[in-house]
Every structure is written in structure tokens, then in C-alpha cells.
Amino acid sequence: MNVGVLSLQGGVIEHINHLKSLGCNAVEVKKISDLENIHGIILPGGESTVIGKLLKETNLLDPLKEKILRGFPVWGTCAGMILLAKEIENDENTYLSVMDIKVKRNAYGSQIDSFETEKVIEQVSPNPLPLIFIRAPYISSHSNDVKTICEIDGNMVAARQNNILATSFHPELSKNLEFHKYFLSMCNKSKE
Ligand code: GLN
């Protein structure tokens, strides 16, 4: 299976390595033609404002948005979640605007802006998963179509709306591959 990683800025290589560890052909997506022949795409962490600007400059924004609206599997981690959101609490811009979520950027303030915890997420794995947060957003509101995957301290930090998966944290920064496996199963189902 071929899975793309949006490769404009941010934590690209870690996702590519995880996909390769799972026997997947990881494709760097930098231009429109890279969107052909992939079965899903990961939007990495980084700076949402920078990645959003580059999405527009490379003309990737509209074709990617159309694909997602037609059911193409996508997973946004951290900044990637912000790119997917239809509303951003503390930013006037929106980017792909495909997921019915409102997100708060840098939601954890300066004191605990980066932290790590562990949690069992039953949809993904029976074992506790390491969750690494780096200047992370969380989901402050959402429509009924959006299903919770994980909450921490009452805040939604992972969610799914059909073909769209979003996590505030960074599974690619731990050795654990379970979240990538979960996304690959979404890609497999949509391929069939
Ligand atoms: N704080 C970043 C933003 O708002 C996201 C951080 C990350 O992706 N690790 O875009």
C-alpha cells in the first residue's frame, strides 16, 4: 500500500519511518501529481500557519481538500489537526476546513506546553499507548458526526469523522506503531 506524508514542513521523516516499519510504501507529497496512486495521507506536526501557507503556494490545498471530501483517508497529527479543522478558536484562518471540529491552538499554555502521558485507547490497542504533546491543540467543540477516540482531563485530543482522523499528540515520536496500524486499516478499508 502507498501512503503519502505531506512533506512541506514539520515532522515528516518520523511518520515515513513508522510507515516503512509497517511494510508500507511511504510517499513524500510535495506537489499535486504526488497525490496520484496513494491510498491515504498523513498531515504531520509542525507549524500550521507555515504548512497552511505552503499548501496554498504549492496549489495542493484545493485538490487535497476535494479528495478528502470524496472520502480519501487522512490523518492529521497536531498541526495537521489544525489544518483539518473547520474552525480555529485563536486563529482567523482556516486551511483544509474538512472536519467538523473547533480547535484551540497551543491549548496547554506555556507552563505545560509539552508533556507525555499514557492511556489505553480501546479502538486502537488493548495496551496503554504513549501520548506525546508538543504545543498541542485540543478540540473544544464538534458536531455529532465526530466520534471521540481519546480524552485527557476532559478535553478531546483524538477524534474521527468517517475518513478523517485527528490527534493532538504525536504517535510518530514514540516507538509504538499502533496508531499508524490503525490509520493503515482505515486506508485498507477505503482501498477495497
Ligand atoms: N503549535 C503548533 C501550531 O499551532 C502545532 C505544534 C505541533 O505540531 N507540534 O501549529
pLDDT at residue 41 in the model? 98
Grid coordinates 485527557 are at which residue?
A: 152
Ligand 1 midpoint to CA 59 (Å): 22
What does the pLDDT average to over 52-63? 98
Binding site for L-glutamine: residue ranges?
A: 46-48, 105, 134-135
List the catalytic residues: 78, 170, 172
Ligand 1 midpoint to CA 104 (Å): 11
> pTM of this prediction?
0.97
Max CA separation in the chain (angstroms)? 46
Ligand 1 midpoint to CA 168 (Å): 9
What does the pLDDT average to over 36-50? 98
The sign of the CA dihedral 153, 92, 71, 65 is negative
With a Cβ cut-off of 6 Å, ligand 1 is lined by 45-48, 78-79, 82, 105-106, 134-135
Domains of the chain: which residue ranges? 2-191
Mean pLDDT in the chain?
A: 97
The answer to whether residue 81 scores a pLDDT higher than 90 is yes
* CATH superfamily, with its number, for domain 2-191: Class I glutamine amidotransferase (GATase) domain (3.40.50.880)
pLDDT at residue 49 in the model? 97
